[in-house]
């Protein structure tokens, strides 16, 4: 990932939000006004970001284009897979047990916030397509999760199940996971699902 993609990192956190210029600067850690301004304009031109004027403020948000979802996904996965506090070898062992080719792998809970303790389990969510049986996917990884140190606590949902949680009016685990997660793999389809939920009323 190049330096310019740090400008997109704030949009991976809550992709349903519209961010002002100063918010992007603060959240990305880039202090150069000219650099941030030129990168934002570049991403708008490439169709990755949208811009709109609200009073005297220009707001930026993620486009729904394929290039936007792919780029945002790459930024999010890079962040997760370079996070030093995650047990990457253990994560890979669990991924190696999965037989389905189409899924999203999320780290949630305390590890997603880097607030874990030595006694913390690693909470994970696997979102599979609607043709898969969650119980079958769970069976593939259950033993590896239980034997791992730290121990992994898995949840498996079909895409339609996760979508219903996001658009449900009541607070639930799906909404909490959407607000706080690290995406190991499958980020493009995850953001596609998330933005569909946004179109149906999800606002975090």
Q: How far apart are CA 41 and CA 110, in angstroms?
A: 35
Residues 152 and 109 in one domain: yes
Residues 102 and 185 in one domain: yes
In a domain, 204, yes or no: no
Average pLDDT over the chain reads 95
- The predicted structure's pLDDT at residue 26: 94
The number of distinct structural domains making up the chain is 2
- The predicted structure's pLDDT at residue 101: 83
CB 136 within 8 A of CB 166: no
- The predicted structure's pLDDT at residue 51: 96
Structure tokens at 172: 């639930």
Percent share of the chain, pLDDT over 70: 100
CATH of the domain at 36: 1.10.10.10
Residues 137 and 171 in one domain: yes
CATH of the domain at 151: 3.30.460.10
The pLDDT tens digits of the residues spanning 70-80 come to: 999 999 999 99
Distinct helix (H) and strand (E) counts, the chain: 10, 7
In a domain, 71, yes or no: no
- The predicted structure's pLDDT at residue 204: 87
| pLDDT < 50: residue spans in the chain | none
CB 180 within 8 A of CB 173: no
Residues 189 and 126 in one domain: yes
Residues 41 and 89 in one domain: no
Residues 109 and 190 in one domain: yes
Residues 103 and 162 in one domain: yes
Residues 89 and 183 in one domain: yes
- The predicted structure's pLDDT at residue 100: 87
Judged on CB neighbours under 10 Å (0-12, 13-18, 19+), 100 is: middle
- The predicted structure's pLDDT at residue 73: 96
In a domain, 163, yes or no: yes
In a domain, 95, yes or no: yes
Long-range Cβ pairs for the range 135-142 (8 Å, 24+): 137/98, 137/100, 137/103, 140/97, 140/98, 140/99, 141/94, 141/97, 141/98
CB 45 within 8 A of CB 65: no
In a domain, 77, yes or no: no
Residues 97 and 55 in one domain: no
Q: How far apart are CA 99 and CA 151, in angstroms?
A: 21
What is the reported pTM?
A: 0.94
In a domain, 75, yes or no: no
Domain residues for 115? Answer: 83-199
Residues 88 and 174 in one domain: yes
- Residue ending a domain, choose from 62, 91, 106: 62
- The predicted structure's pLDDT at residue 1: 66
Residues 42 and 127 in one domain: no
Residues 181 and 90 in one domain: yes
Phi-psi region of 122 (alpha: psi -120 to 50; beta: other; left: phi over 0): beta
The pLDDT tens digits of the residues spanning 124-148 come to: 999 999 999 999 999 999 999 999 9
In a domain, 70, yes or no: no
Q: Give how far the C-alpha of residue 140 lies from the chain's centroid of Cα atoms, to the nearest Å.
A: 23
CB 179 within 8 A of CB 166: no
């Amino acid at each position: 990932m190049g330096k310019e993609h740090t400008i997109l990192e704030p949009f991976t956190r809550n992709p349903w939000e519209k961010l002002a210029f100063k918010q992007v600067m603060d959240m990305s850690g880039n202090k150069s006004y000219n650099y941030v301004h030129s990168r934002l304009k570049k991403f708008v031109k490439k169709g990755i970001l949208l811009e709109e004027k609200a009073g005297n403020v220009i707001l930026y948000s993620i486009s729904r284009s394929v290039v936007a979802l792919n780029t945002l996904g790459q930024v999010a996965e890079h962040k997760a897979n370079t996070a030093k506090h995650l047990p990457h070898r253990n994560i890979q062992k669990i991924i190696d047990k999965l037989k389905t080719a189409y899924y999203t792998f999320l780290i949630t809970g305390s590890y997603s916030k880097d607030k874990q303790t030595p006694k913390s389990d690693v909470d994970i969510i696997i979102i599979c397509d609607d043709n898969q049986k969650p119980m079958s996917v769970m069976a593939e990884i259950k033993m590896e999760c239980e034997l791992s140190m730290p121990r992994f606590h898995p949840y498996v949902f079909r895409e339609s199940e996760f979508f219903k949680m996001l658009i449900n009016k009541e607070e639930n685990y799906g909404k909490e996971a959407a607000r706080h997660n690290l995406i190991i793999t499958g980020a493009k389809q995850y953001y596609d699902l998330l933005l569909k939920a946004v179109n149906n009323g999800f606002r975090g």
